[in-house]
């Protein structure tokens, strides 16, 4: 249980970023289905940019 708690604490900033992106996507789908798909695509591109390592395979 303590191990899971430490993993959550160590990844808290990523959890907040992911939940923020999810709320923007949800709001986009509430407004319009096409706009929701566009916001989802932009959120996935942004998430991939955040997750990708700097410098490629190095």
Q: 27-43 pLDDT, tens per residue?
A: 999 999 999 999 999 99
| 40: Cα within 13 Å, side-chain hemisphere | 10
Task: State the Cα–Cα distance between residues 35 and 24, nearest whole angstrom.
Answer: 11
Provide the whole-model pTM: 0.76
Q: Which two tokens stand for residue 29?
A: 């789908």
For the chain, domain boundaries: 2-51
Q: 1-18 pLDDT, tens per residue?
A: 889 999 889 989 889 999
Residues 6+ apart with CB under 8 A from 36: 25, 28, 29, 30
């Amino acid at each position: 249980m303590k191990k899971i708690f430490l993993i959550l604490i160590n990844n808290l900033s990523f959890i907040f970023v992911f939940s923020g992106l999810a709320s923007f996507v949800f709001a986009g789908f509430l407004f319009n289905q096409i706009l929701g798909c566009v916001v989802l695509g932009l959120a996935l591109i942004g998430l991939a940019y955040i997750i990708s390592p700097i410098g490629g395979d190095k």
